[in-house]
Amino acid sequence: LFGEVPQATPVAVFKLSNDFKDDPNPMKVNLGVGAYRTDEGQPWVLPVVKKVEKLIVADNRLNHEYLPILGLPEFRSSASKIALGEDSPAIQENRVGAVQCLGGTGALKMGAEFLRRWYNGNDNMKTPVYVSAPTWENHNSVFANAGFKDVRPYKYWDAEKRGLDLAGFLGDLETAPKHSIFVLHACAHNPTGTDPTHVEWMQVAEVMERRKLFVFFDSAYQGFASGCLDKDAWAVRYFVTQGFEMFCAQSFSKNFGLYNERVGNLTIVARDADNVRRVLSQMEKIVRVTWSNPPSQGARLVAITLNTAELFAEWKDNVKTMADRVLLMRASLQAKLQALGTPGTWDHITQQIGMFSFTGLNRVYTHTHTHTHTHLLSHHIRCCYCLLSVLLPGDSLYLYVQYQSN
Ligand code: PMP
């Protein structure tokens, strides 16, 4: 029956984590998966999460009944509120809706499925979807799998100057067909760690408004980039103030450390309450045939935290702890490279933000080092493989580096 099924290629980042686990080398370091680690190299369960988990277990009123199709109402509204801001004009005008989704991926999927069916006329699989070059690899597949036939890259990264290619980005916005969908990273761009400045975002918004392009934010790292939720949501909120109708896929995997609970939210900003109501009614149909209704544990945890003043404050503090450590790691790496007199400039290590770093090293450079790593597949390396082999000369290091295809 299944004799003709071809073997699919493994998902690179998960394959790498499995290889890492199986490797007995005590010197191994996993630089692939985007998950926070402590000084001891261990996952961190946020103290606020542990606290709220205890509250949930102790609460006799809770049960395991199905949630509504669109999810836990107090989760959806509080999640949208941290994306758009307490005083968001769109929230005040009652033109924001939300769908609880399975992680940020689920939120992107739900948005993509809806847009393919209903945006810009019925079943518009030909509408171009633009994703940044490079981007988190799943963006391409999520939109293609939702039925979009034309998923294209837009210019984003300037390899030469190791920074944003603003002219290229704006140029692609200018020439995109009207109504094209643009997936924008809200902050801490994955994988380049390079975001537009406020002024650059304003330029992007101006073109998108004028050319009638659809804004689909992917917000997977709110709080993680700067340690401040409001700062990291600046771009999303700016677009709302400019009157855009838009989607924002939110993930709570990183900023709550709830990777395996699959907590996400799709925030919808529309023209008025009536539009939101009709959009949500169609979203409900899509959820029903996809996961029917979402799981409750992670969403409860996030909702209780966001809706309780002391817990909210504690969470913000926990997020800052993570963000500060990431910043410290960047500064330490840069300082060590400079102290060792490593050729080249390393300012980009600290200029980039979030979990990821584009080293700017190419394949030729990496192959001049002696190391035993076998997973180096491309010259697009987003982690510090060779930087670390410079730091620890002579050691036989196995570093697990995520392969990033373009
Ligand atoms: N978008 C981006 C840019 C990401 O980096 C990630 C996670 N690596 C996601 C979305 C998906 O997040 P989740 O694990 O919550 O599905």
CB-based contacts of 282: which residues, under 8 Å, 6+ apart?
114, 117, 118
Dist CA 251 CA 138 (whole Å):
14
Measured in angstroms, how far is the CA atom of residue 107 from the centroid of ligand 1? 10
Measured in angstroms, how far is the CA atom of residue 105 from the centroid of ligand 1? 6
Among residues 165, 172, 195, 218, the one annotated as catalytic is 218
- pTM for the predicted model, two decimal places: 0.89
CA distances from 275 to 123, 211, 287, 288 (A): 18, 22, 18, 20
Decide: 251 and 224 in contact? Cβ < 8 Å: no
CA distances from 378 to 157, 356, 361, 403, 405 (A): 17, 17, 11, 6, 7
CA dihedral of 129, 134, 138, 142, whole degrees rounded to 10? 0
Q: Which amino acid residue places its CA nearest to atom 7 of ligand 1?
A: 220
pLDDT at 29: 76
> Tens digits of per-residue pLDDT, 343-354?
888 888 899 988
Query: Of all atoms in ligand 1, which is nearest to the CA of residue 190?
Result: 3
Query: Of all atoms in ligand 1, which is nearest to the CA of residue 34?
Result: 8
Q: Which amino acid residue places its CA nearest to atom 1 of ligand 1?
A: 220
Q: Which amino acid residue places its CA nearest to atom 2 of ligand 1?
A: 220
Q: Report the sign of the C-alpha dihedral through residues 301, 306, 308, 314, in that order.
A: positive
161 part of the active site: no
> Tens digits of per-residue pLDDT, 242-295?
999 999 999 999 999 999 999 999 999 999 999 999 999 999 999 999 999 999
pLDDT at 197: 97
Dist CA 230 CA 222 (whole Å):
8
pLDDT tier at 406, thresholds 50, 70, 90: very low
Rounded average pLDDT over 366-386: 35
pLDDT tier at 356, thresholds 50, 70, 90: confident
Dist CA 349 CA 346 (whole Å):
6
Among residues 81, 109, 155, 254, the one annotated as catalytic is 254
Measured in angstroms, how far is the CA atom of residue 296 from the centroid of ligand 1? 19
Rounded average pLDDT over 215-226: 95
The token pair that represents 389 in the structure block: 């082999």
Measured in angstroms, how far is the CA atom of residue 139 from the centroid of ligand 1? 9
Query: Of all atoms in ligand 1, which is nearest to the CA of residue 259?
Result: 14
160 pLDDT above the threshold of 90 = no
CB-based contacts of 212: which residues, under 8 Å, 6+ apart?
178, 179
Closest C-alpha among 160, 212, 210, 158 to residue 182: 212
Query: Of all atoms in ligand 1, which is nearest to the CA of residue 108?
Result: 10
CA distances from 395 to 231, 333, 370, 389 (A): 40, 17, 9, 8
pLDDT tier at 362, thresholds 50, 70, 90: low
Q: Decide whether any atom of ligand 1 lies within 6 Å of the 218 Cβ.
A: yes
> Tens digits of per-residue pLDDT, 98-126?
999 999 999 999 999 999 999 987 667 88
Decide: 378 and 402 in contact? Cβ < 8 Å: no
Decide: 346 and 337 in contact? Cβ < 8 Å: yes
Decide: 323 and 223 in contact? Cβ < 8 Å: yes
Mutate to test the pocket of ligand 1, among 108, 131, 136 (most ligand atoms within 8 A of CB): 136
CB-based contacts of 135: which residues, under 8 Å, 6+ apart?
153, 156, 183, 185, 190, 191
pLDDT tier at 361, thresholds 50, 70, 90: low
pLDDT at 372: 36
pLDDT tier at 17, thresholds 50, 70, 90: confident
324 part of the active site: no
For 273-300, give the DSSP string.
HHHHHHHHHHHHHHHHHHTSS--SHHHH
CB-based contacts of 396: which residues, under 8 Å, 6+ apart?
25, 27, 371, 372
Measured in angstroms, how far is the CA atom of residue 190 from the centroid of ligand 1? 9
Q: Decide whether any atom of ligand 1 lies within 6 Å of the 105 Cβ.
A: yes
φ/ψ of 396, rounded to 5, equals -90, 100
pLDDT tier at 400, thresholds 50, 70, 90: very low
Measured in angstroms, how far is the CA atom of residue 104 from the centroid of ligand 1? 5
ipTM tops 0.95: yes
Query: Of all atoms in ligand 1, which is nearest to the CA of residue 251?
Result: 15
Closest C-alpha among 191, 227, 130, 226 to residue 357: 191
Q: Report the sign of the C-alpha dihedral through residues 158, 161, 163, 164, in that order.
A: negative
Q: Decide whether any atom of ligand 1 lies within 6 Å of the 261 Cβ.
A: no
